[in-house]
Structure 1
Amino acid sequence: MAEQILQRNVKDHWYVKYEQVGFPSIQKGWILPVDRWADFDPFVLMAEDWFKRGTFSDHPHRGFQTVTYVVDGRLEHIDNAGGRDILEPGDVQYMNAGWAARHAEEGVDNDIAHTLQLWLNLPKHLKNTETTYQNIYSEDAPTVNFEGGSVKVFSGDIAGVKGPLNSLVPITLSEISLDNGVTYVHKLPETHNAFVYVLSGDMDFGGNQVNLKKHGVGTLTFNDGGNENNTSELVIKSNSRRSKVLVYSGTPIKEEIVPYGPFVMNTMEEIKQAYRDFRLGKFGPPAV
């Protein structure tokens, strides 16, 4: 008997609300608000920021991973292990904060950096792993072209190619661009929790054809407890020229967490220990 392929629907959707914040930060919005992390598991939160140099200077992290997509401007990464690089629009940076990251994320010169930063949880047994960084430049992510569009794969096995981003928990990240009137079927593991964020244009998503325009977010149905080797399908139809969407998916971790300040741990005591360790210098010297 043939495998029945799960057809994804949009489960919930909303538009990001933005607020102006104090200089050198400029504007912020929550794509995934932190108080709903249990719905988004393994994702904790996702922020959209416009900022200038000095907003995200030297700071620590522990217990999770970040996936940062640069929308516009230039982003300089500096870490206290000697890493330094500049990311440009369409580039992605992956960080495993692990047990003790200390870094800075800065606008370059007088640029306004515009970024999307996703916090990706680590399971309890990986929260003390070594801190690592990986830059994925736009041109190094494989792109599959088809009539009326393309899919660029940053992470996961998608459309017959494998993205270069190597996270400690299984995720996919794809950037899909479609012309007006084009329909594309995006395939994901049926067990992955997933969401979409529209960067531009006007698109319909899922079997229930939920319409989302720029700044629209949609979470998707999935088969919790299914077979990770089974595929699901998300139908996407573009209603405008230059429609572009990011699709994120990942395997739920199913652990209680405490996101607090720059840390994501399993208990409040572990959060307090992270602050103690930072004050005691265990995260190393500043990132400058």
Structure 2
Amino acid sequence: MKENSLRAIERIVHGRPTSDGAGVRLIRLFDRDLQRRLDPFLMLDFFGSETPDDYIAGFPDHPHRGFETITYMLEGRMRHRDSAGHEGLLETGGVQWMTTGRGVIHSEIPEQQEGRMAGFQLWLNLPAADKLCEPWYQDFTAAELPHFTLSNGITGIVIAGDSQGVIGAVQRPITEPLILDLHLPAGARFEQEIPADRHAFLVPYTGQIQVLGKSLSAVQLGILGPGEAVALESTEASRVFLVAGKALDEPIVQHGPFVMNDEQGIRTALEDFRAGRLA
């Protein structure tokens, strides 16, 4: 790949410690301040702790409408239940993909009393035409997620999109998300094509990487600038969450767990929730 077509790190985001649910401690890597810049993605959280008090209460029943949630469990066990009748156990290495659509009330509660719980939750916007679609839910175990191994020792888990000829577990025709978990030995280089019309970012969650000479350390988010591909080089053994998607370029109006295109959509979501009309 020509050097001038490679994406550089445009900005490094350090995230902010916060809590959500019933007091789960996490790092919010981005939310509303970067929704336009990283369209179609709305939010990214990283959670990781060996202290049970940081996660044990989990996320009791709460509503959503108008987007998709992707939870990638790096370590731990979490039980999902929702008002559409779905239930599943998300375990180490697994992915939970939920399309909230017209509305769902769900809970995510740890099924462990000790040990480390860690992972990512990413919010992916739905196009206006699909915001009131039927809710959808799917769990994928670690063994069910497609993966590849390269000759230089790099392995990749393809959650969505495609990489190195491997088709991911989930495809979306409009936002076309690419979601990869890359494991790089020290000194390895990895290139991934990312079409110029995609917004893209990455988060090394262990180790340290460089992109065109700029370093990114664990749990820092690097927003990637213009280009047609990204080249990562690991300065030590590293694991990297790489995400890209095609912008919807539609209005974004968020009120807590509801994401619609206008204020009327939010008012209707609140009315439906209060009246018990969510799925």
Query: Quick one: which of 188, 203, 228 aligns to 2:209?
Result: 203
Is 2:267 aligned against 1:276? Answer: no
Deviations 1:17-54 (A, max 9, x none): 324x4995242211113222111100111122355344
- Do the aligned partners of 1:91 and 1:137 also contact (CA within 8 Å) in 2? yes
TM-aligned CA deviation for residue 148 of structure 1 = 2.5
Deviations 1:158-217 (A, max 9, x none): 111100123463101111111111111122223211100111001102xx3220111111
Query: Quick one: which of 223, 230, 236 aligns to 1:234?
Result: 230
State the aligned residue count: 270
In structure 2, give the amino acid aligned to 1:145: T
| Cα RMSD after superposing both structures | 2.1
Query: Quick one: which of 129, 140, 149 aligns to 1:136?
Result: 140
- Do the aligned partners of 2:55 and 2:117 also contact (CA within 8 Å) in 1? yes
In structure 2, give the amino acid aligned to 1:64: F
Secondary structure at the residue paired with 1:164? coil
Secondary structure at the residue paired with 1:250? strand
Is 2:70 aligned against 1:67? Answer: yes
Distance in 1, matches of 2:199 and 2:21, equals 36
In structure 1, give the amino acid aligned to 2:179: L
TM-aligned CA deviation for residue 138 of structure 1 = 1.8
Identity rate, percent = 29
Secondary structure at the residue paired with 1:273? helix
Secondary structure at the residue paired with 1:40? coil
In structure 1, give the amino acid aligned to 2:10: K
Q: What is residue 154 of structure 1 aligned with on the other side?
A: 159
Distance in 1, matches of 2:167 and 2:24, equals 36
Is 2:179 aligned against 1:173? Answer: yes
Q: What is residue 240 of structure 2 aligned with on the other side?
A: 245
In structure 1, give the amino acid aligned to 2:9: V
- Do the aligned partners of 1:65 and 1:98 also contact (CA within 8 Å) in 2? yes
Q: How does 1:108-119 map to 2 (within 5 A)?
A: 108-111=111-114, 113-119=117-123
Q: What is residue 258 of structure 2 aligned with on the other side?
A: 263
In structure 1, give the amino acid aligned to 2:127: P
Q: What is residue 49 of structure 1 aligned with on the other side?
A: 47
- Do the aligned partners of 2:22 and 2:60 also contact (CA within 8 Å) in 1? no
Q: What is residue 10 of structure 2 aligned with on the other side?
A: 11
In structure 1, give the amino acid aligned to 2:27: G
Secondary structure at the residue paired with 1:39? coil
Q: What is residue 86 of structure 1 aligned with on the other side?
A: 89
Distance in 1, matches of 2:262 and 2:61, equals 25
- Do the aligned partners of 1:75 and 1:113 also contact (CA within 8 Å) in 2? no
Query: Quick one: which of 170, 177, 194 aligns to 1:188?
Result: 194
- Do the aligned partners of 1:44 and 1:119 also contact (CA within 8 Å) in 2? yes
Provide structure 1 residue ranges, at least 5 long, that are not aligned to the other structure.
224-231
In structure 2, give the amino acid aligned to 1:14: V
TM-aligned CA deviation for residue 235 of structure 1 = 0.7
In structure 1, give the amino acid aligned to 2:167: K
TM-score (norm 1): 0.87
Secondary structure at the residue paired with 1:197? strand
